[in-house]
């Protein structure tokens, strides 16, 4: 009877953690998803353009949507930073410093991604198609587009170099 109660408690905890991770993954979008929504292009078409050397910011700029793209990217990065603070991977002070650097950088942003703020601060917003693939603050397993656990360091989103 005790083992059954322990198993039920464990399953409940795992289920709650899974639901929290899924909710977080559902709120954070990749740069490709944001560009797709703004430009009306498919993700596959955006991947092809990205593979030819264009950044998602440049694609958004070509469609006249750079300001909207920058605003949504800032919102996504804020969500990632907030989660890292919640997970204990960053202090609030570190997250605020990174966020303010990104926000200040956007005044001169031309969509090319040349500032690489994520790399400068080790925030890992760059390489990777999901949580756990970027080189950022924190080590260990992270969510990978909500499809389970993926090995990595920190949290990276999209192919946004």
115-143 pLDDT per residue, tens: 665 566 665 554 343 444 344 444 444 44
Q: Does the pLDDT of residue 61 top 60, yes or no?
A: yes
State the Cα–Cα distance between residues 54 and 73, nearest whole angstrom. Answer: 17
Tell me the pLDDT tens digit for each residue of 63-90.
999 999 999 999 999 999 999 999 999 9
φ, ψ of residue 115 in degrees (nearest 5): -75, -30
Calpha distance 149→9 (Å, rounded): 22
Do residues 23 and 152 make contact, with C-beta atoms less than 8 angstroms apart?
A: no
- Ordered by start, the domain boundaries in the chain are 2-150
Decide: 154 and 137 in contact? Cβ < 8 Å. Answer: yes
Predicted local confidence at residue 150, as pLDDT? 41
Q: What is the DSSP string of the chain?
A: -HHHHHHHHHHHHHHHHHHHHHHHHHH---HHHHHHHHH---HHHHHHHHHTT--HHHHHHHTT-HHHHHHHHHHHHHHHHHHHHHTTSS-HHHHHHHHHHHHHHGGG--SS-TT-HHHHTT---SSSSSTT-SB-SS-S-EESTTSSEE--BS---TT--
Q: What percent of the chain has pLDDT over 90?
A: 45
Using 50, 70 and 90 to split pLDDT, how confident is the model at 153?
A: very low
The pTM for the full model equals: 0.57
């Amino acid at each position: 009877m005790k083992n059954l109660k322990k198993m039920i408690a464990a399953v409940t905890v795992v289920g709650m953690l899974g639901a929290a991770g899924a909710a977080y993954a559902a709120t954070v979008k990749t740069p490709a998803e944001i560009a797709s929504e703004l430009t009306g292009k498919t993700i596959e078409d955006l991947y092809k353009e990205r593979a030819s050397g264009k950044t998602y910011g440049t694609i958004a700029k070509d469609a006249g949507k750079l300001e909207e793209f920058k605003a949504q990217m800032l919102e996504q990065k804020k969500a990632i930073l907030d989660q890292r603070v919640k997970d204990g991977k960053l202090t609030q002070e570190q997250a605020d410093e990174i966020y303010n650097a990104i926000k200040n950088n956007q005044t001169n942003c031309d969509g090319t991604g040349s500032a690489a703020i994520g790399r400068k601060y080790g925030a890992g917003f760059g390489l990777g198609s999901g949580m756990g693939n970027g080189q950022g603050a924190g080590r260990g397993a992270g969510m990978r587009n909500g499809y389970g656990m993926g090995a990595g360091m920190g949290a990276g989103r999209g192919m946004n170099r």
